[in-house]
Amino acid sequence: MPALLGEADVVRAGASAAPRVGADYVAPGRAEIYVHPERIGKLEAAFGLVLDAQRGNLVVRVPPAGAWSFLVSAARDADEGKDAPAAVIAADLLDAHEDRASVAAVGILESLLESAVLRRDAT
């Protein structure tokens, strides 16, 4: 899993990126990623990914190609991998329909709102 999460064609999301934005949420053994639609085949072949909706430990989201630039806008140094923007991570956590994930998502959104208010008040 660590090799997959560090792959250049992957943007970490949800549970995989939550701790990196300060969310109090971990889900060991579970990962969430976004992959560009033109890169999913390469990733499936390289990592032997197979669909297993019942026991799978990886959520792969394939957004439309036109949305990709919004996912990588918060990309970090290539050596560290890439994380989705904090608001996207919060949405992913809400999509988990799990109480702990929802609480973590609210924490992320509150932090984003507070930052926006501070920036507005500074102008």
Answer for the pair 33, 63: CB distance below 8 angstroms, yes or no: no
**CA 42 to chain CA mean position, Å:** 19
Q: Is 121 exposed, middle or buried (0-12, 13-18, 19+ CB in 10 A)?
A: exposed
Q: What is the pLDDT of residues 13-54, one digit of tens each?
A: 999 999 988 998 999 888 999 999 999 999 999 999 988 878
pLDDT at 78 (0 to 100): 47
pLDDT the model gives residue 76: 52
Overall average pLDDT of the 74-78 stretch = 50
| Amino acid at position 88, single letter | V
Chain centroid to CA 105: 12
Write down the pLDDT at residue 12: 94
> 59 — phi, psi (to 5°)?
-105, 120
78/7: higher pLDDT: 7
* Strands 58-61 and 31-35, sheet pairing: parallel
